[in-house]
Amino acid sequence: MKADEDVFDAKSFLAGLPLQPGVYRMLDAAGQVLYVGKANRLKQRVSSYFQQSNLSPRIRLMVSHIAKIEVTVTRSEAEALLLENNLIKSLKPRYNILFRDDKSYPYIVLTGSPSPRLTYYRGTTDKRHQYFGPYPNAQAAKDTISLLQKVFRLRTCEDGVFSNRTRPCLLHQIHRCSAPCVGIISAGDYATDVRNAGLLLQGKFDEVEKRLRAAMEQAAEKLAYEHAAALRDQLQALHTVQQQQFVESGRATDADIVAVVEAQGALCLNLAVVRGGRHLGDKPFLPQNVAGQDRGEVLQAFLAQHYLEHPAPPLIVTNLAVDDAALAAVLGEQAGHTVQIRHRVSGERRQWLEMAQANALLALKRQAGLQAGQALRLDALRAALDLPDLRRIECFDISHTLGEATVASCVVYDELDIRPQEYRRYNISGITPGDDYAAMRQALRRRYQKLQGGEGKRPDLVLIDGGAGQLGIAVEVMAGLGLADLALVGVAKGVERKAGMEQLLRPGVEKPLQLPPDSPALHLIQQVRDEAHRFAISGHRARRGKARTASSLEEIEGIGEKRRRNLLTHFGGLKGVQQANIEELGRVEGISPLLAKKIFNHLH
């Protein structure tokens, strides 16, 4: 409701709001969402923005930009909470506290196959398998798998490899796999190892130790000394694993420890994960849009955003009080069990909380040091290029192999850091293979034509990895898009093509700029350029590998889509097909002995 087209009539709008739970969205004159919030009583909550005099400067600035407010009434505060966080995730409003956590969390999986596989996994769960975790980071999960291999020697290979082995692999020779693929371990003994590994992942160390000791004594009584010795070795390895854990609890507790700390105006939240009484590691979060927000608001935002995407454990320990019964109820409903949020704890839980707070402070100090170094580099680059307002840099690179599978990359540097979530790759097509100029032209057009319509973020500097030719293409493209005022710099390798000898080429400037090898400005350019190079190469290799996998089999007469798929599925990929002999190839559905011989001859 507005008094006219340009001025938001808050009084009239507020008069029509209900005293019901719901979600409100504040928009500016351009229709961009400034803020999304929830309320148990919409009228009271939205009115507070216009009636309170003690608003923070940040919130006052937001209110001054409001041109429209949209509301959605819900049946309960819990329903409003779900809607609020779905909108925050999709809209990313500039005044909401945002936690960047795009990756799913890793799990350890014991597959449901007859000879279960121990593996690392991210993604959607499958009821056929057992999942343990989540782990705070990939390294914590992979370290645990490595330790479990030393104790129980479970297989980690793909099913396609497992089902086609004729002799034990290297992992068996170094005592990391018991080789169920070729029957060196019996199905019963392997199942016992799988069960014990699952118990250990649940934190039931004492039960596993008891089972192993009883089995060892039973084997000794039956004079099966070799088997008893193997069980003794497992027990010794188990004790070694226990000693290598970060923290071991006497209780099989599943809990998350969440601590938010502030230092020198910056905020950091640390999440520590405890599963089965074992501290699996932690992960720091540096939220966006927290200026003027207190620690309690940041903690509340994290709990809502994080646990509405990741199942909550039965216990969440926080370093600040959280008074939100609706949040705990929603988390419990989604997780399928009661969820307690507690901040007054003692004993080992207090120790975990203190550890989480210490790690959050450490992450803040580390981030402050990194930002100070990046600020120095950015200031030096501003001075070197005479771009006093330089903040956002975008850099392009082209990668291909003799013109095959050409990929262009665009990486982004903004707010004193690289921004992987804003990276883009462009698969280049419709050009003469190996024509880098045409590839660069296509990538730049695809990237910046949206700026003509006012979409996307405008960079302050565009770096082109290449010489005068590539820079000339960039000048031509920008002029054609009406973006001739964008600052462009070509990064050439120089005569000696050595790091530190790069030459910076600028449109209209005849003499290249060569910064000293120890220049902070040059270090920033190298950082961004190298990241663009890495991102382009990884994209090119993936595209080339996919193309070669398909084409090498499709080139064989008699191999269509169905037979190619059967081969790749049976052997777990092209490498497995290449390693197979004629007899093994002939066992695949649809592959005759004659065709198997033809495939083998083509691939060797």
Structural domains for the chain: 10-91 (3.40.1440.10), 107-244 (no CATH), 255-365 (3.30.420.340), 393-544 (3.30.420.340), 555-603 (1.10.150.20)
User: Which residues of the chain are under the pLDDT cut of 50?
Assistant: 1-5, 243-250
Burial (CB < 10 A; 0-12, 13-18, 19+), residue 484, is exposed
Strand-by-strand arrangement of the 255-263 sheet: 278-285, 266-275, 255-263, 315-318, 340-342
Q: What is the crossing angle of helices 593-603 and 520-554, to 10°?
A: 150
Measured CA to CA, the distance from residue 256 to residue 314 in angstroms comes to 9
pLDDT of residue 245: 47
Please name the residues in contact with 116: beta carbons below 8 A apart, sequence gap of 6 or more: 110, 130, 154, 194
pLDDT of residue 103: 60
The token pair that represents 44 in the structure block: 């009271």
Measured CA to CA, the distance from residue 320 to residue 265 in angstroms comes to 18
pLDDT of residue 13: 87
Given a contact cutoff of 8 angstroms between Cβ atoms, the answer to whether 497 and 397 are in contact is no
pLDDT per position as a tens digit, 480-500: 999 999 999 999 986 556 777
Given a contact cutoff of 8 angstroms between Cβ atoms, the answer to whether 372 and 335 are in contact is no
pLDDT of residue 281: 80
Measured CA to CA, the distance from residue 560 to residue 570 in angstroms comes to 15
Given a contact cutoff of 8 angstroms between Cβ atoms, the answer to whether 252 and 277 are in contact is yes
pLDDT of residue 399: 94
The token pair that represents 489 in the structure block: 């710099």
Query: Which segments of 205-259 does DSSP mark as H helices, in order?
Result: 205-221, 225-244
pLDDT of residue 412: 96
Strand-by-strand arrangement of the 130-132 sheet: 118-121, 107-110, 130-132
pLDDT per position as a tens digit, 30-77: 888 999 999 888 999 999 998 877 777 888 889 989 998 999 998 888
pLDDT of residue 451: 85
Measured CA to CA, the distance from residue 105 to residue 385 in angstroms comes to 41
Measured CA to CA, the distance from residue 449 to residue 471 in angstroms comes to 18
What 8-state DSSP symbol labels residue 296? H
Q: How many CA atoms lie within 13 A of 77 on its CB side?
A: 14
